[in-house]
Amino acid sequence: MSNLMRLSDLQAARPPSAADQVFEALYQQVVTLGLPPGARLSEAEVARAAGVSRQPVRDAFWRLSQLGFLTIRPQRSTEVSAISVRAVQQARFVRTALEIEMVRLAAERFSLVEIATLEALLDDQAAAIAAGDRERFHGLDDEFHRQICVLCGHDYAWTLIREQKAHMDRVRFMSLSFGAQSALDDHVVILDALRAGDVPGSVVAMRTHLSRIEDHLPRIRAEHGEHFKSEG
């Protein structure tokens, strides 16, 4: 038994399946509004474009529907779901709870090696802002938060966080049209606290950073009201 790989090791070693690749491609298009709310998707057309059979596309559609990104009406249509403000707020609450614990642990554990990894990411983020590359910044933003989990030895936590934050991602992406620099500034404050081993300061900095979406929501809804669901 001692020679058997752990299931998590098997998962890490497994190359992305066709369904995984279709899921990731569609996920990114939904988040960056390449596929805006209301856009209709066809299994056959996506399968043809991706060069795969319809089963992986069907699997990817189901996973996206579980995240709230797609509304599937069997035998009728599949379309990108409108953004739910309530779901965004719930996702922020759960994400904050998880990331607060991760940053608390990071402040207690990180050495100069881990700090250097995060510093390099912030340099890349600054370059993305200078280039006006919103999609690259969005990916690097995620990578900053993911690396905190990975460098703490809890990379599985990022899987949970990513699932929970999906509802936030489209709003976060839209906020980068005016809020990318403030996001980077927040990351700098978080990193400074981690470098100093300041647990309370790290917690406050992360909580402040993740709460900004609440401040951005009114402006984003005013500018992109067509993307949001009507909720009573």
**pLDDT tens track for 91-133:** 999 999 999 999 999 999 999 999 999 999 999 999 999 999 9
Residue 79, φ and ψ in degrees, nearest 5:
-140, 160
Q: Averaged over 193-200, what is the pLDDT?
A: 98
How is residue 1 written in tokens? 């038994």
Given a cut of 60, whether residue 1 has pLDDT beyond it is no
Q: Rounded to whole angstroms, how far apart are CA atoms 82 and 229?
A: 5
Mean pLDDT, rounded, of the chain: 91
Q: How far apart are the first and last CA of the chain?
A: 55
Write down the pLDDT at residue 232: 60
Write down the pLDDT at residue 231: 77
Given a cut of 70, whether residue 10 has pLDDT beyond it is no
Write down the pLDDT at residue 17: 87
161-197 in b/e form (b: 16+ CB < 10 A) is bbebbbbbbbbbbbbbeebbeebbebbebbbebbbee
CA distances from 151 to 115, 158, 228 (A): 10, 11, 36
Categorize the per-residue pLDDT at 14 as very low, low, confident or very high, splitting at 50, 70 and 90. low
Q: Rounded to whole angstroms, how far apart are CA atoms 194 and 188?
A: 10
- ∠ CA 106-111-112, rounded to 5°: 125
Helices 85-109 and 134-151, packing angle to 10 deg: 50
Given a cut of 60, whether residue 7 has pLDDT beyond it is no
Q: Which residues contact 158 (CB under 8 A, 6 or more apart)?
A: 145, 146, 149, 150
Tell me the percentage of the chain whose pLDDT exceeds 70: 94
Write down the pLDDT at residue 8: 45
Q: Please state, as a whole number, how many other Cβ atoms lie within 10 Å of the Cβ of residue 61.
A: 22
